[in-house]
């Protein structure tokens, strides 16, 4: 059927978890694959419960979905264990043999790095230290840990075989386009590329297999840690507008700014996006909260969506109007 790649369009925190969870249910994804590392959290609100995930794919809400952790991913055993328990996804999770393992020593080293912690704004989760070891070919992989033996699999083979059978697969990328090591606001970036191409590489699928690239934008821009943020609002103003948020992994306050059309346009270009998902429309337009039909959106909200489409050259097909996974206006059928 199809392979969709879901990526963040700004600095992370765009709501990828919500969109991934919705797609897993609506499109009945056979497989959901998580790329990246545990320095990025994806939040899912489903059936009255809130889940904050750092490595388990957000597709866990679909009990029929196989949940895979890509070869390029980095995670710690304790985070995986906690999320298996929280999501009750036992028996559905597969970990690639070659995915990398973060240890307490990596975390300790990260927290002692003054440059990363104070200037760049690292999460201190040990991802960068583990990535250094991976490049040096000294990092231990999932295949080296007996406690992972029952979860080990060949993710690239599973994904490509599923596509050959005509099944739906979703690749869930991490963080946001402008935290990319290559395309972001260097040096205030993460330790890997996080664009759609990189996500496919981490999983082990070629670009010709991709059918849709969905870039996710929030209705305003937020970022955690250092680095430029055009149009940044004072904390008091952000709070007044309802834009003051707390990061999933670190608990730090997110800086905020109005929607940036130029950054959005470039993110669509860098990722080769075919669709746009827009989240938290209800924060800008409270009258739209909980709406699931496009014709019920306010005229001001529709104009905002039209302006985004005109600026980026891609259709806004999925619109988040509330916290729950199913609070979505899905325009894919009409567009």
Q: Cα(217)–Cα(40) distance, rounded to whole angstroms?
A: 16
β 220-223/100-101 pair status: unpaired
Catalytic residue chosen out of the listed positions 42, 193, 324, 330: 42
Catalytic residue chosen out of the listed positions 13, 96, 282, 327: 13
Sign of CA dihedral 81, 82, 88, 92: negative
**Is 42 marked active-site?**
yes
Residues found in the chain: 335
Tell me which residues are annotated as active site.
13, 42
């Amino acid at each position: 059927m199809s392979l969709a790649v879901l990526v963040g369009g700004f600095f992370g925190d765009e709501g990828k978890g919500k969109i991934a969870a919705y797609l897993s249910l609506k499109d009945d994804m056979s497989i959901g694959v998580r790329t990246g590392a545990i320095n990025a959290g994806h939040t899912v609100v489903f059936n009255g419960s809130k889940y904050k995930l750092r490595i388990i794919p957000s597709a866990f809400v679909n009990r029929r979905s196989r949940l895979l952790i890509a070869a390029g991913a980095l995670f710690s055993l304790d985070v995986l264990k906690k999320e298996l328990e929280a999501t009750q996804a036992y028996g559905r999770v597969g970990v690639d043999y070659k995915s990398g393992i973060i240890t307490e020593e990596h975390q300790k080293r990260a927290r002692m790095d003054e440059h990363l912690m104070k200037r760049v704004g690292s999460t201190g989760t040990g991802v960068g230290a583990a990535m250094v070891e991976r490049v040096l070919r000294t990092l231990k992989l999932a295949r080296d840990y007996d406690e992972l033996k029952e979860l080990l699999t060949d993710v690239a083979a599973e994904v490509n075989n599923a596509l050959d059978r005509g099944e739906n697969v979703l690749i869930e990328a991490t963080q946001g386009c402008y935290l990319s090591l290559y395309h972001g606001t260097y040096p205030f970036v993460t330790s890997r590329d996080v664009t759609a191409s990189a996500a496919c590489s981490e999983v082990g699928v070629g670009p010709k297999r991709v059918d849709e690239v969905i870039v996710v934008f929030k209705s305003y821009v937020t970022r955690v840690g250092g680095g430029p943020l055009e149009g940044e609002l004072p904390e008091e103003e952000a709070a007044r507008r309802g834009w003051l948020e707390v990061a999933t992994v670190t608990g730090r306050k997110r800086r905020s700014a109005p929607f940036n059309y130029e950054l959005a346009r470039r993110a669509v270009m860098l990722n080769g996006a075919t669709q746009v998902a827009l989240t938290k429309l209800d924060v800008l337009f409270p009258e739209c909260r909980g709406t699931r039909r496009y014709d019920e959106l306010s005229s001001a909200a529709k104009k905002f969506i039209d302006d985004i489409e005109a600026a980026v050259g891609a259709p806004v097909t999925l619109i988040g109007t509330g916290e729950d996974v199913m609070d979505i206006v899905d325009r894919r059928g009409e567009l």
